[in-house]
Chain A
Amino acid sequence: MDVGIVGYGVYIPQYRIKVEEIAKVWGADPEQIKRGLMVEEKSVPGPDEDTATIAVEAARAAVRRANIDPREIGAIYVGSESHPYAVKPTATIVAEAVGATPDLTAADYEFACKAGTAGIQTCMGMVEAGMIEYGMAVGADTAQSAPGDALEYTAAAGGAAFIVGRNGKRTIASIDGTYSYTTDTPDFWRREMRPYPKHGGRFTGEPAYFRHIISAAKGLLQQLKLTPEDFTYAVFHQPNGKFPLKAAKILGFSKEQVLPGLVVTKIGNTYSGSTLIGLALILDNARPGDRILAVSYGSGAGSDAFSLTVQDGINNNGDATLKVMDYVNRKEYIDYGTYAKLRRLLVR
C-alpha cells in the first residue's frame, strides 16, 4: 500500500456540560455514572454550530496542515449521523469552504460512528488507483440523545478531517493496511424523521462494539503479521472511557498504548469524530517510526481497522493548526437549561 495521511485537523466546540449537571436534573447519582462511563463532561455545539460548521473548521485545519493547494483535492467524503440536511450534501459545503470546488467528487456517508473512517478507505482506494491526487475524509457529529436517556451523558459534538495522498515527503503517517469487519447487528438506530436514536442497552456491548472492534483488530494484525507489541499506540472508538480500555485488554494492548489517545473523558463521544479525534491526539504527540493501530466502530454494525506508521512529515507545519488539547482545554461550562436551549430541547 502506497498511501498515507498528508494532513489532519480537528474541531471541538467550546461549550461543555458536566455529568453532575445532567444527573441533577434526572435524579441520578453522578459519581456512579462517572465511574461507570469514565466520562466527566461532554462538548456541546454552540447556537450557530452544526455538523457542517464543525466539518468545515476541521477540513480547513487539515488543508493548512497538509500545506497543499485545495484544488488538488479530488474527493471529499463527510461521514456523520447528524448531517444538517436530510437531502443536500454536507460535503459540498465543505468542498466550497475549503476551496476545492468544482473539479472533484463529493458525497456524504452514513454509518453511525464509523462513517468517517469509511471515507478514509474510499480515499485510499481512489488515491491508490490513481483516480485522484488527494482525498479528504471528514467525520463530524453533533450527536443527538433523548432527554433522560443514558446517551445524554456522552452524546457530544466534534469532528476531524484527514487528507489521504500518495506516500512522499508530505506524509505524516503512511497507512500499512486496513481491514473491516461488518455484520447486520441492530444495536443502535434512528428511524427517518425521528429526532433521537434508540439503542439496545447492554446489547450494544458484547455482540456489537466488542465483537466488531476485536474482530477487525485481529483481522488486521493477522493480515499484516503484527502483534500488539509492534504498536506504540492504539486507539479504539470511544463511546465511553471503559469500552476502549476493555477492548485493549482483550486484544493484549496495555493501558499505556491506549491512554495517550483517550479523549472521551473530557469531551464525550463525538460519534463520527471519536476515533479520528483520538487518532489526531496521538499524532499530535507522535514521533517518526511510531506505529499506531486505529479501530473505529459504527453501530449497525461494523469496524474499520488501520495500521499507520508515523513518517518524517509529522515534523512539517505542526504550528499551522490548533492541537486536540488546545480544543479540549478551551471550554465554557453551561447549565442544563442552556444545554436544553442549545440542543433545541426547548423551543419557543
Chain B
Amino acid sequence: MAVPRFWREIPNRYNLIGTKCGNCNTVFFPPRSVCPKCRRMGKLEPYKLRGRGKIVSYCTVHVPADGFEDAVPYVLAIVELEEGPRITAQITDCNPDSVKIGDEVEVTFRQIREESQDGLIYYGYKFKPVSNPPSEG
C-alpha cells in the first residue's frame, strides 16, 4: 500500500469514520460518497461508528498473506456493527478455538502490518472479545 493511500484512510482506519445517509439513515462503512438507495436524494455525512458488534462469520487463517506470517493462526471475521454495516477485520487477543459466531466484540487500536523494517507501520482497527458489559449511550 502506498503511503498516500494509507494516509487518506486514517480517519476510517483509526476511528471507524463511515458515512450516514441523512435521507434514509443508512450507515456505510467503508464510507460511500453516494447512497445506493437514495441516489441523488441521498445526503451523506461523515459518521463515527461506536465500534461494537457481533461476529457474523469467521475463519482461522493458517496460511497467511504477506506480512502476517508471525500472527498465525489468526481469526479473520465479518463483524456486524450495532449501526448496521458489516466489516471484515481481524479478531485479536483471543484463542482462535474459543471464537464463536454471535460473540460480542469491540474495536481496539492495533498494528495491522508494517511495510518492512524500514517502512511505515499501518495502524488501524481490529476487534477483540468485549471486556466489559456494553453500556448504553
Contacts and interface: CB of A to CB of B under 8 A. Distances in A.
A348 B132 contact: no
Contact of A49 (B70, B90, B111): B111
A267 interface: no
A99 B70 contact: no
B34 interface: no
Nearest to A320: B135
Contacts of A326: 131-132
Interface string A325-348: 010001010000000010000001
B109 A57 contact: yes
A319 B93 contact: no
A348 B69 contact: yes
B46 to A, nearest CB: 12
B61 to A, nearest CB: 13
A97 B15 CA distance: 6
B33 to A, nearest CB: 22
Q: Which 10 A-B pairs have the closest CB atoms?
A: A48-B110, A56-B109, A48-B111, A97-B14, A53-B109, A53-B110, A96-B14, A47-B71, A14-B93, A84-B121
Given A53-B110, A96-B11, 16 more contacts: A14-B93, A46-B93, A47-B70, A48-B126, A49-B110, A50-B111, A53-B108, A53-B111, A56-B109, A56-B123, A57-B109, A60-B109, A320-B135, A322-B131, A330-B131, A348-B69
Interface of B: 10-11, 14-15, 69-71, 90, 92-93, 108-112, 121, 123, 126, 131-132, 135
7 contacts: A48-B90, A48-B112, A52-B123, A53-B111, A96-B14, A99-B15, A326-B131
